[in-house]
Structure 1
């Protein structure tokens, strides 16, 4: 049996339009589609990013609890996006700061020697990382 990789990733959000605007403005994603109308129990916005191999789906479940994300509950802990190197990480830090988003400064990633990471949260509190792993970049 063969798995070829991850096709897409879906994140549950409280307000799909708010989240789509945030991902587009802050992280430079762009919309590639949507599903569901105002009366549907579920609305989706599909995003992509230049150089990103998988699609990111934002899903709003009408009538959902609307709770903020909590990585201590069973399910998703965080989502890490790969960046080429520390210089790119610094440029991302500047862009994130321009949008007034709180984030951690770039620090060494304690799980991967030589790697650095920035941690931030989206409008629903979903923990995101921008991860520069020089070893992985060399393997591409």
Structure 2
């Protein structure tokens, strides 16, 4: 049996792709590579790719998406953590988030993995996102 090698893409349900796409492009530096709208089902999907083809995030808008607040305590997605290679890069992300007026939790030591550090923030729909490094200060 072959082994899994990486995550190809991550699909997130959003309430409005037209609002979310510019945010993901600006704040996370992702680039739109494809867009599909299915007139029959009303589903809209936008594929955004990270620099260097590292991964793809797909933003999906269903016509009947509930407008309730995101809650990581519900079954399904808890959060998404993006990785950087160093503590210095993590601090740069903290500055980037501040520059775009994104509310975030300043760099803290991870409670999950000793020696790691994380910055936590949310997208326009309240989905919890993190930038993470396995290095502490």
Indicate whether the TM-score tops 0.5: yes
**In the TM superposition, what whole-angstrom CA distance separates every residue of 1:109-135 from its partner, at most 9, and x where no partner exists?**
122222100000000000000001139
TM alignment of 1:29-48, pairs within 5 A: 29-36=30-37, 40-48=41-49
TM alignment of 1:54-133, pairs within 5 A: 54-133=55-134
Alignment correspondent of 1:138? none
For 2:75 and 2:57, the matched residues in 1 are separated by 21
Q: Helix, strand or coil: the match of 1:75?
A: coil
Q: CA 1:99–1:84 in structure 2 vs 1: closer, same or farther (change >3 Å)? A: same
**In the TM superposition, what whole-angstrom CA distance separates every residue of 1:38-95 from its partner, at most 9, and x where no partner exists?**
7751000100111452211000001221222110100000000001111111111111
Alignment correspondent of 1:22? 23
For 1:103 and 1:24, the matched residues in 2 are separated by 18
Stretches of structure 1 that go unaligned for 5 or more consecutive residues are 136-140
The alignment covers a number of residue pairs equal to 135
Q: Helix, strand or coil: the match of 1:134?
A: coil
